[in-house]
Every structure is written in C-alpha cells, then in structure tokens.
C-alpha cells in the first residue's frame, strides 16, 4: 500500500459501507454473505426441513466472521429462504470478528450473533466498534 487511496480500494466503495436495516454494514462483506446465501439456500432449506430440531449455526474467524455476521443478519431478515424457520433457530458465532456493522445493528441482532474476542464472549457483536481494547472493563 503506497498511498491512502490504496486503502479505500480495500473497502469496496468510497466509504466501504452500505445502508442495511436502519444501520450500516461493510459493503464487501455483505456482498459475500449474499453470494453464500444465494448459492446455498436450497441446501440449507432441505437440511432444515429434514432435521426440524436442528439449529442453523454459522461460524467464522476473522474476515470470515464478518461474512458470518452479515449472513446471519440476512438469513434472519429472509427466513423464507431457508424454509420459514423461527429466528431462534438461527445462530452466528464470530471468532476474532472484523468490524462490519454499526452499533445499532449489533444491538438489534445480539440475540442471534455472538462474538468471541480474546477468549471472552461479548454478547453484543461489534462492541469493539465504540471501545478500544484498552478501555474494555
């Protein structure tokens, strides 16, 4: 990376964010999550119909955790794509998560997305958006 504009390229658009459900998300991670759901929703739907007591659980690490967070939110907003299951049957676990959503979305989806940071589980995904690690209790 030679100049500041090289870093902007990594954000996938001018500011790297996109409006989503009343907040902001990382545009590139959202695109990746949409691609995953579009390509795998039929398989997920079949499996959830075949195993009605199972929970749909997504897990990702680092950059993949951002995709998992986006994927979990998209599935929760489009439950019909996976057979109309209940929200409580969808879970996302983000390990060493990327910063990918605004705080209002982190709070709204805290019941379905859990993040694991430095071996400590934070109930609100994205808590680190508003706090630096040195300020954590």
DSSP 21: T
- Give, for all 137 residues of the chain, the pLDDT tens digit: 456 555 555 554 456 788 999 999 999 899 999 999 999 999 999 999 999 999 999 999 989 999 999 999 999 999 999 999 999 999 999 998 888 898 999 999 999 999 888 655 444 444 444 444 444 44
Residue pLDDT, tens place only, 76-115: 999 999 999 999 999 999 998 888 898 999 999 999 999 8
CA–CA separation, 109 vs 125, rounded Å? Answer: 8
pTM of the model: 0.76
Which strand ranges, in their side-by-side order, compose the sheet holding 90-95? 56-61, 90-95, 113-117, 120-122
């Amino acid at each position: 990376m030679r100049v500041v504009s090289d870093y902007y390229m990594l954000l996938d658009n001018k500011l790297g964010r996109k409006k989503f459900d009343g907040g902001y998300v990382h545009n590139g991670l959202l695109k990746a999550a949409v691609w995953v759901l579009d390509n795998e929703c039929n398989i997920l739907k079949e499996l959830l119909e075949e195993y009605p007591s199972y929970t749909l659980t997504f897990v990702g690490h680092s950059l993949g955790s951002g995709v998992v967070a986006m994927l979990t939110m998209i599935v929760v907003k489009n439950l019909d794509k996976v057979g109309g299951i209940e929200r409580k049957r969808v879970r996302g676990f983000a390990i060493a998560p990327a910063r990918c959503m605004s705080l209002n979305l982190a709070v709204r989806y805290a019941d379905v997305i859990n993040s694991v940071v430095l071996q400590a589980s934070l109930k609100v995904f994205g808590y680190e958006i508003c706090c630096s690690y040195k300020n954590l209790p």
